[in-house]
Amino acid sequence: MGALQPEIERRGQRIFELVDEYPEPLFSKAGFYQRMMALSMRDEYFKVQLFRFVDVLASLHRGSDIVQHLDEYFADMRNGYAPLIRTGVRAARIVPWISGQLLRWNVSGMARQFIAGRNPQDVLKTLRKRRAQGIGFTVDLLGEAVVSEQEANEYATRCLELLEYLGRETRDWTDPLGKSTELFPVVNLSVKISALYSQMNPADPADAIAHLAPKLRPILRRARDLGAFVNFDMESYAHKNSTLELFKMLFMESEFRDWPDVGIVVQAYLRDAEDDLQDLLEWARQRGTRFGIRLVKGAYWDFEKIKSRQNGWPYPVFLQKPESDVNFEVLTRIMLENEAIVTSAFGSHNVRSIAHAQACAEKLGIDRSRFEFQLLYGMAGPVKRALVEMGYRVREYSPVGELLPGMAYLVRRLLENTSNEGFLRAKFSENVSEDELLRDPANLVTQGRNGGVQVEVSANGASLDTPPGDTYENAPLVNFVYPENQTRMLNALAHVRTQLGQKYPLVINGERVWTDTTIASINPSSPDDVVGHVAEAGIPEAERAVKAARDAFEKWRWTSVETRCRLLERAADIMHRRRFELSALEVYEVGKAWAEADGDIREAMDFCLFYAQQMRLLGRPRLTQHVLGEESYQHYWPRGVAMIIAPWNFPMAILCGMTTAALVTGNAVIMKPAEQSAVIGAMLMEIFEEAGVPPGLLNYLPGKGSVMGAHLVDHKDVDLIAFTGSREVGLRIFESAGKTREGQRQLKHVICEMGGKNAVIIDSDADLDEAIVDTIYSAFGYQGQKCSACSRLIILDEIYPRAIERLLNAAASLRVGNPEDPGVTVGPVIDGKAHKNILGYIESGKQEARLAFQRGDVPDKGFFIPPTIFTNVDPRAKIACEEIFGPVLSVIRARDLDEAFEIANSTEFALTAGFFSRSPANIERAKAEIVAGNVYINRSCTGAVVGRHPFGGFKMSGGGTKAGGVDYLLHFMVPRVVTENITRHGFAPETTPQYRDEFLPPR
């Protein structure tokens, strides 16, 4: 790279000279936009508020709503221009209609700066102007996020219409350079693959390809007939592999194999971009026809970083800006070196990146007519002009669409333009020197900790990365975007299938115990398949288990906290090693989709690791008040024998969570898994045995809840019952545990987590792209069988028609089937009893409400329930009050927010709730007024993460305990205080110790 530096500088200087001949500020439109951007760059808080306001604006129709939002977003500005904004808000309140429209007009002006036209006719005017300036075009259809197949089909139709129109209208247009014209058709269409299929699942590229290819072929055929070029844009990392595979598959088909006018994007900010590029080149050599690559840095950097951080994945993107710049140059060279097979387009506004491409091409002797620079509409106008003047080929990326879908695009552009690290801001706003802008990025990459990423710090100085004291890092989820993970899961499914039908004994006092009867655990997708036969415990086995646990407890209670924590950590290690196998087993035994099954295993690992970490903190006796002459410590003792009764819906996580909480706090455990997931319970037992759990400390005792379970709940030697399950059983346990039996040592303690009838509210200004996707996931993910699932959807009147239309279409597009198939999102319900029960509710619903949607195409075999949506539901109706635990959603229309909250809070449950809104004031109300243990704003109401979202409800949803929270373990222990008078005849040490070890009996 270094050898090219003088030439890069020379060319860069030349571009700058030309740019300076026609000076233009970064934000070319004067007035409102320019002022807003200038403020945004000065003040991060203002920027966030402004971009959020822009994001919501298009969905607001009334002037008064616009003013209301303006007030909410800006009225509390704390800086120098606060008075200005306050005056504006005051004025707007007086004349809301005029102010609202004025604002909309101004923001529309901002959007128009980046959107080349509202429709094909409109965009043509822009394209004509550019043509006169010697600039070509590629058009991109803006659209809302596609949540249903209907929307995807509409997008495909619009693509065809746009092609048709442009083909016709530009028939007599000629190439601006008049050279190498065969490589660069005039009409160039950029397509976003995710807009053509609503159910793209990273785990299942084959399904995506199977659905996308038939939609794309007619577009490609027409494009070819019209002599147009089609480019596949690249979106988030989750879609990258599917997009690449689709591209390679389609253009290898005999019909398209000899067609050169197709291209794809490579994102240089990705660490694996070079591998992908080499793979594409290899593919092209096999294909034998040239094709196009648009090299960009990438538009989703913040998103990828956030998503990876949340899921514990390695970052797929570089973390230092100069690393992306260096990679862009590396890939530029490779593309140009392969000019014989690749037509290169460099998508960048960065003069250094552009000058490098020029210098590199020159060195390789490639004529400047044989590659092109692509820049975005509304950005870096002077750079485009300079490039044209230098005789280079320039194409402008021209988005077409309406304001509402355009807002997401506008916000992306605003972010890019105001980014601290961006070239445009540095050059056009901060006037960074040309020398600096043209430096070799390789010299700017630093080798620091965090890969050069600065730790973010909040206003009060606390690190935003890790809250003080919270050092727990969650176990990562498996990222099924990687083919090796897909393969591992497929192999695990094949392997586990060979193990089905085995027999599993009870484990009591470390011994395997067989009984006369067994429980058959069956595969709900295919009820003829037995997953395993599990020995069934009766009363005699229960008695043996209590005795074994009692004996083991007396030893375990005196083992050190460290020993207990290490047991849990070893268990987590084993789960990690067996992760895919355990997930596969869940697919068979409880009908979980891949990602759901993996999430369950991840949660189980998190429980082990998080509780171990918490116990290390809690296990230290805590000095109470510092009083001279006296030493008082509070610490905790275990309660005794714990009975763990778990459900089947999170078969590993909940069983493991309650069990590990009991063990790490020093209790002995009798573990009763649900009958439907008893084989997974056996696996947990196996894992703990391998981890070295002492005999008798953990006993595996599947059996009938009503017989053996009830017996143990009542048992005088059982001190603690941790239960998660239905309200009916929970209340029975609660009542029974309240009675004191003869010989009972202490009060029984009950930890009881029960059901929910969770509501999601969609406010009138909500972002429907998100609200619909997240609601569908919350309601139908794992077939609605999560206690946190959304079963009531409350939609505000104003947004109701559009929301319901999109919701029903989205539900119609879900993939229902056997979850062995990686792309399936809705599988079977757990068993025949649940199946019958849910169908009964559906029948009630037909009497009580309007059946607005029901899928007709679910498999016959297996316990499949068609996803079902009722509308016109009375909040007092049975289907709106009782827990159904299946894929049935009741939709309720609310007049206003007061009514929506009232409905949401009207059931006897209080587990989870969701609220979608872009009004800061309404969000604050929701935070304060929604009655639920876990309130989620602008996201799905399921998927709690250990440590991050301590989980549990109150009212009839539970006793207020929070699994995965810092105070959960306290429920498994009794507090104890030890006080010593350390005064001797009026003399006491001056200082009291801060820390001491546990109180363990001397050995």
Taking alpha carbons only, the member of 995, 998, 964 closest to residue 472 is: 964
* Stretch touching ligand FAD by CB under 6 A, among 252-260, 311-319, 853-861, 863-871: 311-319
Hey, what long-range contacts does 91-100 have (CB within 8 A, 24 or more apart)? 92/67, 93/67, 96/63, 96/64, 96/66, 96/67, 97/63, 97/64, 98/63, 99/63, 99/66, 99/67, 99/70, 100/60, 100/62, 100/63, 100/64, 100/65, 100/66, 100/67
Q: Which of these segments, 336-344, 374-382, 528-536, 915-923, binds ligand FAD (CB under 6 A)?
A: 374-382
Span interacting with ligand FAD, options 146-154, 415-423, 569-577, 679-687, rule CB under 6 A: 415-423
Whole-angstrom Cα distance, residue 547 to residue 528? 38
- Is residue 777 classed as helix, strand or coil in its secondary structure? helix
CA dihedral 756, 762, 766, 770 (to 10 degrees): 50
| Annotated catalytic residue 686 | no
From CA 281, how far away is CA 275, in angstroms rounded? 10
Question: For residues 709-728, which are near ligand FAD according to CB under 6 A?
Answer: none
Smallest separation (angstroms) from ligand FAD to the CB of 747: 57
> Tokens representing 314?
């390695």
Residue 384 token pair: 């485009």
Q: Which two tokens stand for residue 490?
A: 């497929």
**Structure token digits, residue 698:** 């953990």
**Inter-residue contact 988 to 628 (CB < 8 Å):** yes
DSSP notation for 88-152: HHHHHHHSHHHHHHHHHHHHHHHHHHH--BSSHHHHHHHHHHHHHTT-EEEEEE------SHHHH
Q: Give phi and psi for 459, each to the nearest 5.
A: -60, -35
State the nearest-atom distance from the C-beta of 294 to ligand FAD, in Å: 6
Residues 232-261 that bind ligand FAD (CB under 6 A): 233-234
Q: For residues 299 and 879, which CB has a smaller minimum distance to ligand FAD in the complex?
A: 299
Q: Burial code of 542-555, b = ≥16 C-beta within 10 A, e = fewer?
A: bbbbbbbbbebbee
Read off φ and ψ for residue 979, nearest 5 degrees. -120, 130
Measure the CA–CA gap between 830 and 641, rounded to whole angstroms: 30
**Contact with ligand FAD (CB under 6 A) among 89, 284, 355, 375:** 375
CB of 320 to ligand FAD, least distance (A): 5
CA pair distance 864, 832, nearest whole angstrom: 10
Active site annotation includes 753: yes
**Contact residue for ligand FAD among 26, 50, 110, 299 (CB under 6 A):** 299
Nearest-approach distance from CB 123 to ligand FAD, in angstroms = 15
Q: 703 and 537 in contact (C-beta within 8 Å)?
A: yes
CB 153, min distance to ligand FAD, A: 22
Q: How many residues bind ligand FAD (CB under 6 A)?
A: 32
Distance of CA 407 to CAs 104, 404, 468, Å?
A: 12, 6, 37
What are residue 826's DSSP bridge partners?
816
Residue 425 pairs in a beta bridge with none
Task: Characterize the bridge pairing of strands 342-347 and 909-910.
Answer: unpaired
Window 854-883: residues binding ligand FAD (CB under 6 A) = none
Alpha-carbon dihedral sign for residues 257, 260, 263, 266: positive
Nearer to ligand FAD, 349 or 579 (CB): 349
Of the candidates 565, 608, 787, 790, the residue annotated as catalytic is: 787
For ligand FAD, the closer of residues 122 and 302 by Cβ is 302
The single residue among 33, 256, 300, 428 that binds ligand FAD, judged by CB under 6 A, is: 300
Nearer to ligand FAD, 426 or 956 (CB): 426
Binding mask 312-351 for ligand FAD (x = CB under 6 A): -----xxxxx-xx----------------------xxxx-
Point out which span in 216-224, 416-424, 727-735, 965-973 binds ligand FAD (CB under 6 A).
416-424
CB closer to ligand FAD out of 296 and 762: 296
| Strand partners for 816 | 826
List all residues 6 or more positions away from 46 whose beta carbon is below 8 Å from its beta carbon. Answer: 39, 40, 77, 79
Cβ closest to ligand FAD, residue 267 vs residue 783: 267
Cα 932 to chain centroid, rounded: 22
Please say whether the beta carbons of 868 and 851 come within 8 A.
yes
- 420-459 residues near ligand FAD, rule: CB under 6 A: 421-423
Interactions with ligand FAD, residue window 131-160 (CB under 6 A): none
Q: What's the min distance (Å) between Cβ of 452 and ligand FAD? A: 8
Length of the chain: 1003
759 — phi, psi (to 5°)? -110, 145
Name the nearest CA neighbour of 333 among 293, 391, 301, 380.
293
Is 77:85 a contact under the CB 8 Å cutoff?
A: yes
Shortest distance, position 598 Cβ to ligand FAD, whole Å: 27
Which of the residues 104 through 123 are near ligand FAD (CB under 6 A)?
A: none
Within 10 A of 340 (CB to CB), how many other CB atoms are there?
8
Question: What residue type is assigned to position 911 of the chain?
Answer: L
Among 297, 393, 592, 971, binds ligand FAD (CB under 6 A): 297
Stretch that binds ligand FAD, among 46-54, 92-100, 419-427, 694-702 (CB under 6 A): 419-427
Residues 651, 74: Cα–Cα separation, whole Å: 47
In the complex with ligand FAD, the residue whose CB is nearer, 423 or 580, is 423
Nearer to ligand FAD, 131 or 949 (CB): 131
- Site for ligand FAD (CB under 6 A): which residue of 58, 70, 147, 296? 296
- Provide the minimum distance between the beta carbon of 140 and ligand FAD in the complex, in angstroms, as a whole number: 8
Close Cβ partners of 609 (under 8 Å, ≥ 6 residues apart):
472, 475, 568, 569, 572
Between 297 and 564, CB nearer to ligand FAD: 297
Query: By C-beta, is 55 or 690 nearer to ligand FAD?
Result: 55
Piece of the chain touching ligand FAD by CB under 6 A; list 194-202, 297-305, 431-439, 797-805? 297-305
Shortest spacing between CB 99 and ligand FAD, in angstroms: 33
Asked if 410 and 159 touch (Cβ cutoff 8 Å), the reply is: no
Report d(CA 996, CA 384) in Å as an integer. Answer: 70
Q: How far is the CB of 854 from ligand FAD (least distance, A)?
A: 38
**DSSP classification of residue 122:** H
Q: Least distance from C-beta 474 to ligand FAD, angstroms?
A: 23
Shortest separation between residue 7's beta carbon and ligand FAD, angstroms: 19
* Residue number, 305 or 550, with CB nearest to ligand FAD: 305
State which residue, 321 or 815, has the beta carbon closest to ligand FAD. Answer: 321
**According to the binding rule CB under 6 A, does residue 353 interact with ligand FAD?**
yes
The tokens describing 785, both together, are: 């069988």
> Which stretch in 175-183, 368-376, 511-519, 799-807 sits in contact with ligand FAD by CB under 6 A?
368-376
Which of the ranges 252-260, 263-271, 873-881, 905-913 carries the binding residues for ligand FAD, by CB under 6 A? 263-271
Q: Are 485 and 597 in contact (CB under 8 A)?
A: no
Which one-letter DSSP state was computed for residue 454? P
User: Do residues 768 and 803 make contact, with C-beta atoms less than 8 angstroms apart?
Assistant: yes
Q: Identify the active-site residue in 753, 820, 848, 883.
A: 753
- The only residue of 41, 376, 561, 708 in contact with ligand FAD, by rule CB under 6 A: 376
Find the binder of ligand FAD among 237, 392, 397, 504 (CB under 6 A): 397
Contacts (CB under 6 A) with ligand FAD, residues 265-294: 265, 267, 269, 294
Interacting residue with ligand FAD among 374, 398, 486, 922 (CB under 6 A): 374
Q: Closest separation between CB of residue 421 and ligand FAD, Å?
A: 4
Closest CB to ligand FAD among 357 and 403? 357
Spatial distance between the Cα atoms of 410 and 114, rounded to a whole number of angstroms? 7
Binding site for ligand FAD (CB under 6 A): 233-234, 265, 267, 269, 294, 296-301, 317-321, 323-324, 347-350, 353, 374-376, 397, 416, 421-423
Return the active site residues: 753, 787
